[in-house]
Amino acid sequence: MLTTSTLFSILFLISITSRVGSATIPSEPLTEKEKHKIVASDAITICLHEVNDISKYINAIPKLKSIQLTQNQKLLPCVQGLNFDLSEVQSALYSLKHLKEPYMLSYEHSLKHMTSHAISLWKTCSSSLKNEDKVVVSLLTRKLDDLSYLINNVVYHISEFLGDSETPGSH
């Protein structure tokens, strides 16, 4: 015999399952443009998450006890500069997230420039950490390289969405 709470739980799970199933299966087939829009949106979302993760990592570096012991005067301006560059990348990505075609063309090229500026700044700043833990420097370098890769992916998918198949990129 089923209790009221068990019956309620079963009905609740059935209703959730039916909602999830109906939310993931489109009632009509998607056009190519709609598919490209979804993929571009996902690429932007992933990139935004990466920017947030990198910002958290950058802000954690000055808080490391080993870094605080050295009282590195060059580190704080580097962290501030990287945060500024990443906030510009993040702002551009948020603008792109709306996928409004007139704005997309101007942002896709500036994104690459902003990212390469952040990487160049980091290469300059990494010398201020040359006596510190090499893993800290190496991880941030990799994170910025990953961001560059993700930006290229965003640009590629935006060009697909806009129908510009001549723009090279990575998937």
Q: What is the CATH number of the domain that holds 126?
A: 1.20.140
Question: Poorest-confidence range of 12-26, 69-83, 98-112, 118-132?
Answer: 12-26
φ and ψ at residue 26, rounded to 5 degrees: -70, 145
Residue 167 has pLDDT above 50, yes or no: no
With contact defined as beta carbons under 8 Å apart, do 89 and 39 qualify? no
| pLDDT value of position 171 | 46
Residue 96 has pLDDT above 80, yes or no: yes
Q: Give the tens place of pLDDT for each residue, 97-123.
A: 877 776 676 776 677 777 777 778 777
Report how far residue 38's alpha carbon sits from residue 99's, in angstroms, rounded to the nearest whole number: 10
Q: Is 53 a domain residue? A: yes
Give the domain range for residue 132. 33-162
Cα–Cα nearest to 167, from 108, 90, 106: 108
| pLDDT value of position 18 | 55
Q: What percent of the chain has pLDDT over 70?
A: 71
| pLDDT value of position 19 | 54
Cα–Cα nearest to 152, from 38, 50, 32: 50
Query: What are the residue ranges of helices labelled H in the chain?
Result: 4-24, 32-60, 65-70, 75-97, 101-125, 134-162
Q: What are the structure tokens assigned to 93, written together?
A: 């990505």
Report how far residue 154's alpha carbon sits from residue 143's, in angstroms, rounded to the nearest whole number: 16
Is the model more confident about 92 or about 73? 92
| pLDDT value of position 141 | 85
Q: Give the tens place of pLDDT for each residue, 30-53.
A: 888 889 889 999 999 999 999 999
| pLDDT value of position 166 | 44
Q: How far is CA 99 from the centre of its chain?
A: 16
Q: How many domains does the chain have?
A: 1
Q: Is 19 a domain residue? A: no
Most confident of 80-89, 124-133, 158-167: 80-89
Q: Is 91 a domain residue? A: yes
Q: Is 25 a domain residue? A: no
Report how far residue 121's alpha carbon sits from residue 74's, in angstroms, rounded to the nearest whole number: 12
With contact defined as beta carbons under 8 Å apart, do 170 and 149 qualify? yes
